[in-house]
Chains A and B, each alone.
Chain A
Amino acid sequence: MAVNTPQKPRETMEAVAVRFAGDSGDGMQMVGSLFTATSALMGNDLATLPDYPAEVRAPAGSLGGVSGFQVNFSSTDVYTPGDTVNVLVALNPAALKVNLRDLQKRGILIANSDTFNDNGLKLAQYTSNPLEDGSLADYQVQALPITRMTREAVAPTGLKGKDADRCKNFFALGLVYWLFDRDLQPTLDWLTQKFAKLPAVKEANERALKAGYYYGETAEMIQVQYTVQKARLPKGLYRKIGGNEAVALGMAVAAKRAGKTLFYGSYPITPASEILHELARLKNYGVVTFQAEDEIAAMCSVIGAAFGGAFAASGTSGPGLSLKTEALGLAVMLELPCVVVDVQRGGPSTGLPTKTEQGDLYQALFGRHGECPLPVLAPLSPSDCFHATYEAFQLAAKYMTPVIVLSDGYLANGAEPMRVPKVEELPAFDIRHPVDPTGFEPYARNADLARPWALPGTPGLAHRIGGLEKQDVTGDVSYDPENHERMCRLRAEKIAKVAESIPDQEVLGDGAGADLLVVSWGSAYGAVRTAFERARAQGLSVAHLPLRYLNPMPRNLKEIFPRYKKILVAECNLGQLRDVLQARYVRPMEGLNKIQGRPFAAAEVLAGIEKALRKA
């Protein structure tokens, strides 16, 4: 956009974190996403994290109804949405109250002063107006009448009252765009597309957006504009992707690459529902989505579809995984390929539905009755959800087994740029369905111990499978004691052999040994990686092991652990991975645990590292 007014001074920053916060009806997720998209297009590396209440619409203006969206954008690699923010946009007093603790000292606070009236302050449980009582002296406060300025800006469109006020998120967005020298065009294009059928709404939002931008440019209050340079990302095509979107894409792409139909059977559950929403949109790619009557039906439909030869998957969260557990046992017994993605949330029971946690590791590893092993993967970042889900289908099809992918609310809702792989870069699938009845046995095994995936409809291969113990090779029902032990051992051995198809574990930092090895799994990677790099920069002797394969684990772990004097396992639960590792590798380990419905902050992990090293 052409700007012809005199430039204000510019400062270059390496990384900036901005949080948009307001009432859950204020459209904070929308403007946060738009800011993210623009920053991605401008070449920044980035990570985002929305934070919204469990209630769809908590009482307006209340502390429980605050919705936030944080973007960390940078000219260097970004692994987390940032512990604290440089800029906080607070559209009402409740948003200020909930989010102020995360604003850095000297950080910029943009507050909508129109909402800091008696009612707003009371709803936010303020006894005096923080914009006036001096309590915000540590921050650069920009208290602006955003509601009134928005109304004025949109007046020519004829929009009035609530409809006009609804545009104030775009005023705030415009102001932040100016602050960080962002291009307005992608957002203008988006508005044109989004409100093609509502020209007045489109124009009003456009006016509000530009009014915010021009306000920053001309008003005396804000003196400095900040620039964040492009990140040096490897060449290629990129797209912004969130964890749930990436899971959906991984499934659809895996099926398409394998020449299979994707069947996704699922039941709505926070925070996994977006996977269903995404896939339901992909019908032109032949994706079959089935919203089942319950979690059990969803899992059972997946088993039926897998028997029929589809690439079958389900997504859920902790309570749903509990319900799917019996059927997962059936899938293990039937040795049919399928993928279940558990987007973990705070538990137990209904717990914290919209908040993140890594509490389902035990359930994924051990949740089923009997000897019932299956592969478990945990993606490290939102974009890794794509790769992990794709890989889950590779393992499922190769070893004829259900596979669990452990995502979580943090990965699901977070977003980052992903380099779009070329089709030929994606590992091919080698799937063979037997057609020759001669010597066909449903439970004969190949070198990987996988049984044949014989499809109904194939002449001469009619066979019956079921949950009763199978006779080795023939698959007939067998109550023979020795056969049962042989089959339990075979199923376990088959899953152990999956280790042959996964890469050796890499260690970040000193692979030869150090004073401290920090182990993370899944989504804790981002904060631990950031903390590890800061610790290294301080000269601390520390290495980072980000675990992605939780069952089976990489074969070289047993060689890695003895190289380190001390091991710290960082996870958002009370120590589930630590227990597993200690038992398996007979080695005492310390735990860094957080279970607050929020991911680790890098600073928390750094403090944990420093503490562990002090004690050493």
Chain B
Amino acid sequence: MNSTAVPVNAGPAGKSDTPVRATTYKPGDYASGHDVRWCPWCGDYAVLSQVKKTLSTLGISPDQIVFVSGIGCSSRFPYYMGVYGIHGIHGRALAIATGLKLARRDLSVWVATGDGDCLSIGGNHLIHTLRRNMDLKIIMFNNRIYGLTKGQASPTSVVGQITASTPYGVIEPPFAPLALALGCQATFVARSLDLNPKHLEMVLDRAAVHQGAAFIEVYQTCRIFNDAAFEQLTDRALRDENLLMLEHGKPLRFGKNREKGIRLGANLQPEVVVIGENGVAEKDLLVHDEKAPNPNLAYILSQFHYPQFPEPMGVLRAVEAPTYDALVDKQIKDIQASKGEGDLASLLRGTDAWEVD
């Protein structure tokens, strides 16, 4: 082991907001070289592959990136990345990542977590991380099941779902993770799908450059314990009817021939309409606005579930707000500017010392 001393002042002072940009990186530069041990056909592979692609496109040096995870299948993620990483304890990835980012604003800190890790045991950390707008990129793999512990119901399992822990069907309603995130005033909320690499890449790229907490829900299929979870959204014959692809500034249209749309009815109740029927024209449709200061439209979308509504895919919300870590840093710098940077002797002495001689 080499033990050459380097400057040890690892802290927020004097660090820039922007990770170091290098000239060119290939996705392979972000691989750890370890064998990936997810089950064959697991949706996690696709996410791993897209994340590496995004990071290489953005040109963030692997040395400047830290992946933090909790416990679960997806939480093995850091082991497969050739970056710095912590595989933490169940539910706590966001808390670990928060401490790291507060101590080291210069790093690009990512969190890999699952629906059990993030919404059940770690739910408290999620709501507060989003509320604070910590500058973390959060990828939540939602497969609606506990995979690593062999198939129990999770907080996103649907009513009626048969699992190892619910042999007669789930009776509790699931979380709508995007609605939860919006309720926490999250500044970036998006959803994508493991089986749509291009879309996933777009969402990851957007999250990576967002300043603040970026929450991405990835619908990810667990082939072993919940294979059919997203059939309606991935089946070629069905998906166009069940997916609402969001684009900022564009009307909310979907369907095989994009003939359907979303209109806001009485009492803010959304409804599916068909363009050309009953006098409905495109101008009657809701227009997506991810930058709206008021998150009500995004919240309406976050409640869409098939078969009643198409499930939105893309960026529901992306607004600018100060990040918590930047505010912490600013407060320290402001106080140092007004009071002066304290030295060790004055710290020791305090304000009421007296001399004994």
**B-binding residues in A (CB < 8 A):** 37, 40-41, 43, 233-241, 249, 252-253, 256-261, 263, 265, 282-288, 290, 292-294, 296-310, 312, 326-327, 329-330, 334, 420-421, 423, 431-436, 438-441, 444, 446, 452, 455-468, 476-477
Contacts and interface: CB of A to CB of B under 8 A. Distances in A.
A436 B340 CA distance: 36
A354 to B, nearest CB: 25
18 contacts: A249-B347, A258-B8, A263-B11, A284-B335, A284-B342, A288-B102, A293-B124, A303-B96, A304-B96, A304-B97, A329-B89, A433-B5, A434-B2, A438-B2, A455-B6, A460-B63, A467-B71, A477-B79
B2 A238 contact: no
B128 interface: yes
Contact of A260 (B10, B101, B332): B10
B264 interface: no
A327 B350 contact: no
Among the interface residues A286, A298, A436, which one has the most CB atoms of the partner chain B within 10 A? A286
Given A284-B339, A293-B128, A464-B85, 5 more contacts: A235-B357, A239-B349, A256-B344, A284-B332, A297-B124
Interface in B52-80: 61-64, 66-68, 71, 78-79
B51 to A, nearest CB: 15
B4 A436 contact: yes
B19 to A, nearest CB: 9
Centre residue among B3, B8, B61, B71 by max chain A CB count within 10 A: B8
Contacts of A312: 99, 103
A40 B353 CA distance: 9
A290 B102 contact: yes
B87 interface: yes
Given A288-B332, A310-B103, A326-B89, A441 B84 contact: no
Nearest to B336: A284
Smallest CB-CB A-B distances: 4 pairs: A466-B87, A261-B11, A301-B99, A304-B99
B68 A421 contact: no
B342 A434 contact: no
A416 to B, nearest CB: 14
B2 A439 contact: yes
Interface string B101-119: 1111011000000000000
A265 B12 CA distance: 15
Nearest to B105: A308
A283 B335 CA distance: 7
A260 B10 CA distance: 6
Nearest to B67: A464
Given A301-B96, A304-B98, A456-B107, A283 B356 contact: no
A66 to B, nearest CB: 28
Given A296-B92, A420-B348, A458 B63 contact: yes
Q: Which of B63, B103, B128, B357 counts the most chain A CB atoms within 10 A?
A: B103
B32 interface: yes
Nearest to A263: B103
A393 B249 CA distance: 54
Nearest to A41: B354
Given A238-B353, A284-B336, A286-B341, A444 B1 contact: yes
B8 A260 contact: yes
B64 A457 contact: yes
Given A40-B354, A327-B89, A308 B100 contact: yes
A466 B354 contact: no
Given A297-B128, A312-B99, A253 B348 contact: yes
Given A282-B342, A438-B2, A308 B348 contact: no
Best-surrounded residue of A235, A458, A461, A462 (most CB of chain B within 10 A): A462
A259 B4 CA distance: 16
Nearest to A477: B79
Given A234-B356, A283-B331, A432-B5, A463 B103 contact: no
A452 B1 contact: yes
Nearest to B100: A304
B28 to A, nearest CB: 14
B297 to A, nearest CB: 28
B275 interface: no
A462 B102 contact: no
B10 A467 contact: no
B147 interface: no
A433 B63 contact: no
B347 A261 contact: no
A37 B32 CA distance: 60
Contact of A310 (B10, B81, B87): B10
B247 to A, nearest CB: 35
Given A297-B95, A297-B128, A420 B349 contact: yes
Contacts of B155: none
B354 A462 contact: no
B88 A467 contact: yes
A462 B82 contact: yes
Contacts of B235: none
A436 B2 contact: yes
Contacts of A457: 63-64, 84, 104, 106-107
B10 A261 contact: yes
B86 A435 contact: no
A239 B64 contact: no
A305 B63 contact: no
Contacts of A296: 92, 95
Contacts of B89: 300, 326-327, 329-330, 467
A1 to B, nearest CB: 18
Contacts of A465: 85-87
A261 B12 contact: yes
Nearest to A444: B1
Contacts of B101: 304
A444 B3 CA distance: 12
A453 B71 CA distance: 24
B34 interface: yes
B158 interface: no
Nearest to B82: A462
Contacts of A460: 63
A310 B11 contact: yes
B13 interface: yes
Contact of B99 (A236, A239, A290, A329): A290
A303 B99 contact: yes
A252 B355 CA distance: 23
B7 to A, nearest CB: 8
B308 interface: no
Interface in B309-357: 328, 331-332, 335-336, 339-342, 344-345, 347-350, 352-357
A434 B66 CA distance: 18
A466 B88 CA distance: 6
Contact of A237 (B61, B102, B127, B355): B355
Contacts of A456: 63-64, 66, 84, 100, 104, 107
Contacts of A441: 1
B9 interface: yes
Contacts of A239: 349-350, 352-354
A503 B63 CA distance: 41
Contact of A455 (B10, B339, B347, B349): B10
B1 A434 contact: yes
A302 B2 contact: no
B196 to A, nearest CB: 28
A306 B88 CA distance: 13
A300 B1 contact: no
Given A239-B350, A260-B9, A327-B89, A253 B344 contact: yes
Interface in B1-53: 1-13, 32, 34
A317 to B, nearest CB: 19
A542 to B, nearest CB: 31
Contacts of A464: 32, 67, 78-79, 81, 84-87
B210 interface: no
A326 B96 CA distance: 13
B13 A307 contact: no
B24 to A, nearest CB: 16
B83 interface: yes
